[in-house]
Amino acid sequence: MRAQPRGRVARVALLALCVSAASAAERFYVALENSDEPTWDQVADVFERLGVDRRGAAALVDEMNAKGAALVIEGSRRRCNRAASLFRELGMRAAVHSSASLPSSSFAGPHVAQLDESTIRAALGGGQLWLLQFYAPWCGHCKRLSPAFNAAAALSAPAGARFGVIDCDAHPQLCKAAGVKGYPTLKVATGGVIRADYAGGRSTAAMVLFAVAQSAIAGVGRVVGGALRPLVRTLGLRRAPQR
């Protein structure tokens, strides 16, 4: 299907994830499957009624073409039921399910550590640069980031950079303390401290370039600092008095 197709909507398996804003315990999604019936304009109109503009709907169509599924909408149980009803009116099969039926998604991996309150302090205290992803298991954007994040972790490992993930559903206080307000949030930690948000690109290449460069800078700082301290002690150098 083209981004703005003129013909009928191709067969799709669209997952519309709906998360209750009122209660974190209630999460739902609408599963839309295999329909040749509606036109592009009809589908785009439904998305607009649900708060997704045509540009966003076109991007979702592109993603459906590439992956066969897309996670698109957040809302309440009531909104999910309404969304399912609107899509059914177009002849599309739609069903509302609880988040418990969402397929599990692996965020940790061979080069990505799963961290929590009991492990994060010891992990970050090792002296390496860490790139941390704070996620929710139901978050579609988090799931789409996961392959690139894991690939970047593997490619950055030889440079000494470390990657970790924190499940904010399971550890909400840890995420709150880190200032997490949305998912996924990426943060940088050095010297045992979470210092800043990661503001770079989220492609594998962008994360690798950042992690390798910052690890090199941190490594030089540790080496130079470690080398200078004995010299300073030997020479008896002291800070010049302020005038």
Indicate whether 92 belongs to any domain. Answer: yes
Is the same domain home to 129 and 207?
Answer: yes
- In this structure, are 126 and 192 located in the same domain? yes
The highest-confidence range among 73-87, 111-125, 155-169, by mean pLDDT, is 155-169
Q: Is residue 238 part of a domain?
A: no
Per-residue pLDDT of 151-194, as tens digits, reads: 898 889 888 899 999 999 889 999 999 999 999 999 999 888 99
- Please give the order of strands across the beta sheet that includes 93-98: 13-19, 27-33, 93-98
> Active site residue: 18, 80, 139, 175, which one?
139
Confidence at 14, pLDDT banded by 50, 70, 90: very low
Tell me the two tokens of residue 33.
């499957």
Residues 207 and 201: beta-carbon distance below 8 Å: yes
Greater pLDDT, 207 or 216: 207
Among 61, 82, 101, the domain-final residue is 101
Higher pLDDT, 123 or 18: 123
- Active site (annotated) includes residue 175: no
18, 80, 142, 168: the catalytic one is 142
- pLDDT (mean) for 107-133: 87
C-alpha span between 73 and 3 (Å, rounded): 18
Give catalytic status of residue 139 as yes or no: yes
Pick from 203, 163, 195, 167: which is nearest to 179 by CA? 195
71, 101, 131 — which closes off a domain?
101
Question: How would you list the strands of the sheet with 193-197, edge to edge?
Answer: 112-114, 162-167, 130-135, 185-190, 193-197
d(CA 214, CA 206): 12
Looking at the structure, tell me whether residues 169 and 97 fall in a common domain: no
Does a structural domain hold residue 239?
no
Name, in order, each residue with C-beta under 8 angstroms of 40's C-beta and a sequence gap of 6 or more. Answer: 1, 4, 5, 6, 7, 9, 61
pLDDT at 32: 66
Grouping H, G, I as helix, E, B as strand and the rest as coil, residue 152 is: helix
> In this predicted structure, what is the pLDDT of residue 75?
59
Task: Give the domain range for residue 61.
Answer: 13-101
Asked whether residue 22 carries a pLDDT value surpassing 90, the answer given is no
CA–CA gap between residue 8 and residue 22 (Å, rounded): 36
Token code pair at residue 23 = 């209660």
The pLDDT of residue 34 is: 52
